A and B are shown apart, each in its own frame.
Chain A
Amino acid sequence: MLKYILRRIVTMIPTLLVISMLVFVIIQLPPGDYLESHIAELQSQGESVDEQKIQFLREEYGLDKPVVQQYLYWVAGMLQGDFGYSFEYDLPVTEVVGDRLFLTIIISIATILFTWMIAFPIGIYSATHQYSWGDYGLSMLGFLGLATPNFLLALIMLYLANVYFGTSIGGLMDPEYIGAPWSFDKLLSILEHLWIPVVVIGTSGTAGMIRRLRANLLDELQKQYVTTGRAKGLPPGRLLFKYPLRVALNFFVADVGNLLPAVISGAEIVAVVMSLPTTGPILLSSLQSQDMYLAGSFLMFLALLTVVGVLVSDIALALLDPRIRLGGAASK
């Protein structure tokens, strides 16, 4: 087992290296650089541009250097824990992202819990009551959530919440609490705003989870040991939770790999539409303005979490399910 983990960790290094190259190249692909899009933006608003200042910034940001050199500079910095400098914010990347990480995690965890709370009972119900009215009805509800465009739902709910509850539009708290120290009122204000993004993001995820749980559980329910258990007189609830449900949870653990990066990045589109103070809008705007170190470091961070998440879920699966083998080499 230990050997397996070691081997996985070693293979992570070239994977991440390739990802870093891809990320950097893709960010550099659009024509121009940060300063050019900055100039374009200023000009489109009629503001004057001081060419000398731009020249100063180009040297300062190292944008006059060859791309390879910029890449090496960035990678070398990351190895030392320096994620580079955000041109747009004129601050180190860690300061820009760090501030928003906490709220992003809160939203993500709340959303995940919400999804589970809705999807789990429905999934179990529709598996045990296959092809019943309840199964169809609840599945349809889930699919409706999946099919409704998130941004549309977000806008409608923002509007309704504003008109009927007086909630301020967008954001995660009333403006006067932004930057204020933590207090009970601030928490209330967050809760008042939090439910909209949670419901919007959550509804889109429930359908997938309902269907996967239903399918996995149906597979198990047909099996011999379930029949045996029932024949031996186990109460239906105890039978369900003790045996087939546990086996059906494999997919759930395998999901951890995707969960980890999702917790950090938040749902970008909804966050942009609702102007949430999470990391998603930062990532999007940094890609648009070619703020390359901010975008690059953030994407690398997500990549790292994905790779680690996959490893964690693999290990957890191996521990949970003895049927899973640790790849060809390790088992010999």
Chain B
Amino acid sequence: MNDLNITVEDSYAQSATAPILEARHLRKLFPVHSLNPLGQKAAVHAVEDTSLILRPGRATALVGESGSGKTTVARMLAGLYTPTSGTILFRGEPARLSNSASLRAYRRHVQLILQDPFSSLNPVHDVRYHLARPLRIYGHAHNKRQETEQILSLLNRVNLSPAEQFISKFPHQLSGGQRQRVSIARALAVRPEVLLADEPVSMLDVSIRLDVLNLLLRLKDEERLALLFITHDIASARYFAEDALVMYAGQMVEGGPSDEVIQKPMHPYTRLLVSAAPDPARLNPDDNGKAATPPARGEIPSLIHPPTGCRFHPRCPHAMEICRQRFPGRTELGNGRWTNCFLYGDNN
């Protein structure tokens, strides 16, 4: 995390672990329109002070419940939302996302895979159309022959074979898993370096989820993609990603190597999340019956008037007076682990 100042060319050419996409202190407010012109201006505080780093060949999982702001982060990184404040750095330089030309240039490198494969493909167009558009727009194919060639190779890369048959199919002729593969192929057609996957498997049948995850893992390794994997399932974050970040109500609460974050959660919210996740291993033959889980109460608060300070404090068993007053600074715990919690110190 200290190598942020290496010059762009060097870092890209030599060091594989240099960050490719970085978000610094991103914040997003969504104004709430009220019919009363004299009423107080309200806003949904969707994301507060979020920083993250994506590196080539590495997957970072962003874990959180619904309403935690994880999708908003992905959409800001994809240039779909403009951050209220904060910067996005691409290869160390601030990304310009102001006009359509610069956005297009940015999206040549950063692509988003959406959650719902049933609504993210156009039902009146076939697979060829979906994959040909990015190829033409980003200038990778100049004629019909190149186009077909590349589409076939894309379909093979996402394990849709025989590709010759899939090329002329329409979305309704495909299963959920196959559609999500087409979505992935569509993102890959741009030849991006960063792939943002927003809950890519949560809409799929259980038995095919792993297949799609494994496909993404293979692509990450083979093509050295930087992957942001957004999920609410903490177990798949551990399986899929090297690093994990935990979000609660728009605030980042903990991060580090995913295995460690899940095995030894530090922040009270991460502990709650891990203890609430279904864990068949509790059924081991030694202990009889189901393990007692700590009582977990409450839900994510309204983000129009979020709790002050650390937003977890109303639910936190360890809440102190200071938790109500301000948000704790980041505490480094060594080995890449960090947490924003007064229980472990405060670097502000």
**Do A and B share a complex?**
no
Interface set of A (CB-CB < 8 Å, partner B): none
